[in-house]
Amino acid sequence: MLLSTLVFGLVLGGSYALIAMGLSLQYGIARIMNLAYGEVMICAAFAAMLLFNVAGLSPLLSLVLLVPAGWAISWGIYQVMMRPLVARSGTTGRLEVDSILATFGLLFVVQGVLLVLFGGNFQSYAFLGQGVNVLGTQVALNRLIAFGLSVLIGGGLYLALTHSRWGLALRAVALSPGSAPLVGIEVNRVARAGFALGGALAVAGGVVLSMYQTFSATMGVIYTMKALVIVIMGGVGNLLGALIAGLLLGLIETFVSVYIDPGLTLAATYGLFLVILLWRPQGLFGGAK
């Protein structure tokens, strides 16, 4: 029981980490607090389900199709919706409030569209549900694949960001958008890339999660909430922090759901958030400000 809970927690935590990394990129680099983030994820989950049920496409292949689409759509959203807000705010710090409001509106639009298309019921599809023996416990193959994908995508992205010129530019803007132009970085382009990359990660997270979890049209809010808590926990803009915090939240939720009550998982998330706020608002891994 303990071991299987641990494995399930890690699998869930891996997906959470992936999702949170995307939100962290959007907020850290583009300075957009995207409240419609979870909706992007849920859209990807529905798309993966449709491709699987209608076209018989494995979610692994859908991932290859959908992630670039997620990038492109987020790129477009930034260009059409966010860019004017960025331009309008200038240096006044209005962007935070404006982006919160604009994406709050977007949340309802996307959720409304999903409700019209798919209704409000929980959905899932049967992909590689057979059990595999891991350290003496039965784990569904889809969960293992999901975990592997999370590690692969999350870890790969982390390495790319820390070891490439391109990653350096992204991190420079995250640290100091004011001085990045001094070293020849075009902030607008980098911000757009950061937002698009975050969207691509949301899609990856959505597809990965849909392999083993049920989802519904109105669930995006909860995932946005969880991703936000993980980002705060890990320290805003700290990708490694988001990774660790994501795993931690997955474990805590799974343990609460197995040993206490499945109805209390969001309460557990909030409890954790509250502890962070009272104890270390700069994040578990951030330095003191």
Partner 1 sequence: MTGSLIALAVLALVACGPYILDAYGIGLLIGAVSYTILASAWAMFSGPTRYISLATVAFYGTGAYTVAVLSEALPWPLVLVSAAVIGGVLALLVGLSTLRLAGIYFVIFSFGLAELIRQLITWFEVSVSGTLGRYIFLELEPRHVLWQLLALAAVVVLITGWIHRSRIGLALKVIGDDETVAAHAGINLARTKLILFVLSSVLITLVGAIQSPRWVYVEPGIVFNPQVSFLTVIMALLGGATKRWGPVLGAVPLFLLFEWLSARFPDHFSILLGLLFIGVVFLLPDGVLAAIEKLRKKKEARA
Binding positions for partner 1, rule: CB under 8 A: 33, 35, 81, 84-85, 88, 96-98, 100-102, 104-113, 115-116, 221-222, 224-225, 228-229, 232, 261, 263-264, 266-267, 269-270, 273-274, 277-278, 281
Q: Which residue, 23 or 140, is less far from partner 1 as judged by CB?
A: 23
Q: Which residue, 96 or 186, is less far from partner 1 as judged by CB?
A: 96
What is the signed CA dihedral for 196, 202, 204, 210, rounded to 10 degrees?
-150
Residue 278 phi, psi dihedral angles, 5° rounding: -80, -30
Residue 278 CB, shortest distance to partner 1, in Å, is: 6
- Would you list the DSSP string of 245-282? HHHHHHHHHHHHHHHT-GGGHHHHHHHHHHHHHHH-TT
Residue 110 CB, shortest distance to partner 1, in Å, is: 8
Residue 218 CB, shortest distance to partner 1, in Å, is: 9
d(CA 231, CA 283): 8
Q: Which residue, 30 or 110, is less far from partner 1 as judged by CB?
A: 110
Residue 130 CB, shortest distance to partner 1, in Å, is: 32
Residue 137 phi, psi dihedral angles, 5° rounding: -115, 150
Q: Which residue, 111 or 254, is less far from partner 1 as judged by CB?
A: 111
- 79 closest CA partner among 188, 4, 3, 217: 188
Q: Which residue, 182 or 278, is less far from partner 1 as judged by CB?
A: 278
Contact 9, 253 (CB under 8 A): yes
- 64 closest CA partner among 77, 47, 79: 47
d(CA 90, CA 190): 16
How many CA atoms within 13 Å lie on the side-chain side of 206? 34
Q: Which residue, 2 or 266, is less far from partner 1 as judged by CB?
A: 266
Q: Which residue, 7 or 42, is less far from partner 1 as judged by CB?
A: 42
Residue 93 CB, shortest distance to partner 1, in Å, is: 9
- Report which DSSP code applies to 287: P
Tokens of 208: 């990965």
Residue 116 CB, shortest distance to partner 1, in Å, is: 6
Residue 200 CB, shortest distance to partner 1, in Å, is: 23
Contact 143, 10 (CB under 8 A): no
In 11-136, the DSSP E strands lie at 131-134
